[in-house]
Amino acid sequence: MAHALNQTRPFPPATGYDRLPFLDALPDRVRSATLDRSITRRLKRGQAAFWQGERQTRLPMVLEGHGKLIRNTAEGREVVIDFAGPGMPICWPEILGDAALSLSFVAVEDCLISFLPIAPVRHCISSDVRTALAYAELVTHERREFLQQLSATRAASVPARLGGLLLFLLERRGDAHTGLIPIRLSRQDLADAAGTTVETVIRLMRKWEKAGVLETHRDGIQILSSSVLAGSANGDPS
C-alpha cells in the first residue's frame, strides 16, 4: 500500500532529535553525518509512515505530533499496541536487525517523522562502546514502557483497562502538573487501545466527564482526578 506523504525535506537540526539521548552518544562526526542524511516526512491524521510486514531502509523517529502503533492479528483485527510521540524511535531493533516490521505506524494527528540512515548508526553500535551502551539503554527503556502499557490495558474490566491506559499516557506522554495528555485521541483510538467497543468508551468517558474526573479538549485529554482513574485501574467500580 502506498504511503500518503505530502512533504520531504532536509532534517531540521534543532527539531526533536535532541529529545533522544541515544543520538547524543554518537561521535560528533557520525551524528552530524547522520542528521545531514536524514529526511523528514509530514503526515496528516490517518496517514501511515509504514505498514506491518514491510522492511524499512531508514530509522523512523517522531519529531512532532503523535501516532499509534498497530498490530494486525491473524484474525484481521487491529490492536493498538502503543502511542508514539516526539523523541521516540519506532521499531529500531527490528529495522537494525533487517527484520520485517511487526507493527504499523498511523498518525492520530499531524505528525513530522524523521528517517535516519541505518549504516552509520549500525556501525557505531557495533564498534563504539558508548553508543552500544546507549542503544542497550534505549531498548531497555522501550521494553519497560511497553510492558507497563501492556499491564495497564490487560485488566479484566473495561474501566480498569481504560483508566490504566489514561494514567499510563499521562505519566509517559503527558504533563503531570496540568494533567494534560497532549494527544488528539479519538474515542475509536481509545477503544482500540483498551480492547473494547467505541460505544463503551463513549459511555465511560461521558460518565467520567460528568463526574469531573476528566475533560476532553481540542488538544487532548485533561485528567482532573488521577485518584479516581487509579481506583478504576485497580478494580474499584465506582
Domain that holds residue 184: 158-233
Give me 168's grid cell.
499510563
Residues 165 and 153: beta-carbon distance below 8 Å: yes
DSSP summary character for residue 175: B
pLDDT tier at 206 (50, 70, 90 boundaries)?
very high
Q: What angle do CA 142, 131, 127 make, to 5 degrees?
A: 130
pLDDT tier at 4 (50, 70, 90 boundaries)?
very low
Of 152, 186, 215, the residue that ends a domain is 152
| CATH number, domain with residue 227 | 1.10.10.10
Of 152, 186, 221, the residue that ends a domain is 152
pLDDT tier at 142 (50, 70, 90 boundaries)?
confident
Based on the domain organization, do 175 and 119 belong to the same domain? no
Based on the domain organization, do 76 and 133 belong to the same domain? yes
List strand residue ranges (DSSP E) for the chain, in order. 8-10, 39-43, 48-50, 58-64, 67-72, 78-84, 104-107, 111-117, 180-181, 214-217, 220-223
114 or 238, higher pLDDT: 114
Average pLDDT, rounded, for the chain: 83
Based on the domain organization, do 40 and 130 belong to the same domain? yes
